[in-house]
Amino acid sequence: MTNIAIIGDEKTGRTSLASKLGKKGTDSDITLFDDDRHERKYVYVDAKSYPKSIKSIMAALNLADMALLCVTPNGMTPHTGECIIALDLLGMKHGVIVITKSDTSYPMEIDAFSQKLRKMIVGTVLEKWDIQVINTNKDAPNAFEGLEELKNKIHDLADIIEPEQKTKDNLPPRVVIDHFFNVTGIGIVVLGKVLQGTIHTHDKIGLWPVDKKVDIRSIQTHDIDVKSAATGARVGLALKGLLERELDRGYLLSNDEIVATEFEINCTLSKFAKGGIELEDVVHMFVGLQSEPVRVKKIIVGGAEKEKVGPGESCILKLLSSKKIAYNKDDQFLFAGLEDNQRFTAVGKPV
C-alpha cells in the first residue's frame, strides 16, 4: 500500500484531484481518499486545512510515502514556496509536481512556467521529480486531461516504494495514530499507518507516550478484516485496555519509545528561515504527528554556546516542553514559527 500526500496552496485544484483519484473517507483537518479498486492500494491524504494550519500539511506529509505538489500556471505563491521547503526539510524523495488548471493557460505559457519551476527547485529533493500537467476543472470539455499520465507516474513511484517498505517488515512494529473514536459494542477504534514492522490480532503492544499496554482486538485495512498488517498499511484497530481520553493524534503503538519533555537536537536551519532562532524563543516542534510548543534553553554552535543561530547554520538545540513527546533516535524533528508565510525553520534528529 502506498500513501500519498496532496499538498499546495488554496485553490490549486488539489481537492478536486484527490476526489478523482480516490473515494472520500475520513474527514477532519486532513481528508483521506481511498483507491482500493485494484490489486495495488493507494491512500491519498489531502492537507485540507493548509495553509491556514500547518498541522494539516505536517500530518499529510508524515503519513505519506510520496507527495503530489499542486501548482497552478498562474505561478508560485509564498505558500507554494513553503510547501517546497517543508518537502525539502523532510527529505521527501518521491513525488510529482502537478501543474493543475491547465485550461486557464496556453501550452507555451505552461512550458515556460515548467522551465522556471525547474530552475527554482534546483538543489532541493524535488529536483528529480517529474512534472505533470493536468486539467482539474471538472466542468471543462477536457476535464482531467493528463490524469492517466499522472496515475502512471504514481504507479512507477509505487514500484520503488513498495520494495523499500518490505525491508522494514521485520523491524519492531510501530504504528502512528491519526484519528480515534469510541464505537458502541466494539470500544476504542484508532486509525493510522504502520510505520514499520508487522502487527497481528491479539498482539499486546505499548501506547506511547502514556506508557500503557493495550491489546489489538481486530485489524482492518480498507474496511476488510485481516489477521496482520505490515509496513505502509493504512489500518483501523480495535483496541482493548484504554479510554478515549488517554489518546491524542500522533500517539504511537510500539514496544519501546523514548519519552521526554527535554530534548537535545542536532539540527540545521533552512536558508529561508527568517531571523533564525534565538535563546528563549518558543518554536513549534513537530515529531511525526505529535506537535508541541517548546522553549529554546540552549544553542550550541561548534561547541560554544550562542545567543542566536542564523539561516543555513547547523547547531545543537536544547529544548523544553510542557508535554511528554514519544520518539525514537531515527525520528525527524521539524521546527516552525506560526506567523510568517514561510513558517518552517529547521529540521534535525536527536543527539
Summarised one tens digit per residue, pLDDT across range 98-156 is: 999 999 999 999 999 999 999 999 999 999 999 999 999 988 888 999 999 999 999 99
Give pLDDT, residue 140: 85
Q: How confident is the model at residue 91 (pLDDT cuts 50, 70, 90)?
A: very high
Mean pLDDT value of segment 278-284: 96
Q: What are phi and psi of 304, to 5 degrees?
A: -110, 140
Nearest alpha-carbon partner for 340 in 281, 272, 291, 285: 272
Angle between helices 54-62 and 78-90 (to 10 degrees): 40
Which domains occur in the chain, in start order?
2-166 (3.40.50.300), 174-254 (2.40.30.10), 259-350 (2.40.30.10)
Amino acid symbol at 264: E
pLDDT of residue 37: 81
Q: What is the mean pLDDT of residues 77-86?
A: 95
Q: Kindly tell me if the per-residue pLDDT of 195 is higher than 90.
A: yes
Residue 41: per-residue pLDDT? 93
At 94-107, the pLDDT tens digits run 999 999 999 999 99
- pLDDT confidence bin for 39, thresholds 50/70/90: confident
Q: 338 falls in which pLDDT band (50, 70, 90)?
A: confident
Average pLDDT of the segment spanning 68-75: 96
Rounded distance between C-alpha atoms, residue 70 and residue 82, angstroms: 13
How many whole angstroms from its chain centre is CA 269? 19
Q: Tell me: the pLDDT tens digits for 231-261? A: 999 999 999 999 999 999 999 999 999 999 9
Check residue 260 and give its pLDDT. 98
